[in-house]
Amino acid sequence: MTLPKFILGDNTEFPNAIYVIHTEFPRFIINLENDEVEWLEEFDKEDQKELEEETEQAIKEASEFYDREVALYEND
């Protein structure tokens, strides 16, 4: 199965939270309500530098993805 790079998620137990799931390395879930990140990867010291470089960009892309998705829903 091919997954999109980003997936939106929500849950009725957390009504104010909106999640963006990043399915590529480094995999994570970000809660856009409070910008909390849950990593779906385990990292070695060797991965630390790559993680730092990719994380900032991936979180920025996750927020942009959410903004585009919301704009599409609002235009319907």
Q: What's the whole-number average pLDDT of the chain? A: 88
Domain count, the chain: 1
Q: Give the pLDDT band of residue 1 (cuts 50, 70, 90).
A: very high
Beta bridge partners of 7: 21
Could you give the CA distance from residue 26 to residue 53 in angstroms, rounded to a whole number?
A: 10
Higher-scoring residue by pLDDT: 37, 46: 37
Cα torsion at 15, 13, 21, 19 (round to 10°)?
A: 20
Q: Is pTM, for the whole model, over 0.85?
A: no
Domain-embedded: residue 1: no
Domain that holds residue 15: 6-75
Q: Give the pLDDT band of residue 32 (cuts 50, 70, 90).
A: very high
Domain-embedded: residue 11: yes
- The predicted structure's pLDDT at residue 45: 76
